[in-house]
Homo-oligomer: A and B are copies of this chain.
Amino acid sequence: MTTPSTHWVLSFVCADQPGIVHAVSGAIVTAGGNITESQQFSNEDTGRFFMRLQVETNASRDDFENALRPVTEKYAMSWSVDVVGRPLRTLVLVSTAAHCLNDLLFRQRAGQLPVETPLVLSNHNDLADLAGFYGIPFEAHPVTDAASKAAFESRVLAAVEEHDIELIVLARYMQILSPELCATLAGRVINIHHSFLPGFKGANPYKQAHARGVKLIGATAHFVTTDLDEGPIIEQNVVRVDHSRTARELVAIGQDEESRTLTQAVKWFAEDRVLLDGQRTIIFR
């Protein structure tokens, strides 16, 4: 009796050395697999090896993992196995700006973004109807002082637990997460910063960009770390502007870049295309 063919996505990270590809591909042959997509990168500075594969096989998950395990142990690999296209359980945090949430939910429903969103959390009530239109539960909890902020973050952690959340997206959530929350969720929180980092860190980046008279404005999707606006960058985009644009117009123009940059970063993360390499990211597009 055969298991029906499954399409797997695998990632491997380890110290670089000869023979890794042969060892991994041998395990895949053992499991009756066929490689349909393959990318690798060796960082010469750090000596780390990174690989992402998509493999079709009739083997069960257990058999497949058993075939891979000797290799991953031999090379002391960090590794992951998942099914291609499995929706990632995603928690979205928002405040009042709708454009990023609208883009995420529209694409999720259109089948272009492999995530499922069991909950949207906000410190404002403005986006309740948008979430509702897409049938996503929505909760608003005001954040006005230290106590309410702590309560909000407790709710985040509870929701992560309750829904077995794999990714938290800050879709223009206008509160800074506490260092404790950043640490607890490290590598699982993606933020959209409304500037071309590291150009305009901190608040009011469009106002800064206007004052400086830049000719391109941009957006940056990055992992959240305790070091504000300094987490590893996943994606960036820019758009041309000219002297005639007011700071207020820059805000409107920049929103397109924000939403498409954040959506792109979430898509790559959900497709296991984002690997961390210290302060940098490897993106296997």
Enumerate chain A interface residues (CB-CB to B < 8 A): 17-19, 21-22, 25-26, 28-29, 32-42, 44, 98-99, 102, 106, 110, 112, 133, 196-200, 211-216, 218, 232-238, 242-244, 246, 252, 255-256, 260, 277, 279-283, 285
Contact = CB atoms under 8 A, between A and B. Distances in A.
Contacts of A236: 214-216
Contact of A218 (B106, B216, B244): B216
Given A196-B216, A277-B243, A238 B235 contact: no
A44 B238 contact: no
A218 B215 CA distance: 12
Contact of A18 (B29, B41, B233, B281): B29
Given A38-B39, A212-B233, A215-B235, 6 more contacts: A18-B33, A21-B35, A21-B38, A214-B236, A215-B283, A243-B280
A263 B28 CA distance: 40
A260 B34 CA distance: 38
A213 B25 contact: no
Contacts of A22: 22, 25-26, 28-29
23 contacts: A18-B33, A19-B29, A21-B38, A22-B25, A37-B40, A41-B244, A99-B110, A196-B216, A198-B212, A199-B199, A211-B279, A213-B233, A213-B279, A213-B281, A214-B236, A215-B236, A216-B236, A216-B238, A242-B283, A242-B285, A243-B282, A243-B283, A256-B260
A258 B181 CA distance: 39
A110 B126 CA distance: 12
Nearest to A35: B21
A252 B39 CA distance: 23
A22 B237 CA distance: 38
Interface core residue of A22, A41, A252, A281 (most chain B CB under 10 Å): A22
A195 to B, nearest CB: 10
B98 A279 contact: no
A282 to B, nearest CB: 5
Contact of A35 (B40, B98, B218): B40
A22 B28 CA distance: 8
Given A196-B199, A216-B236, A38 B40 contact: yes
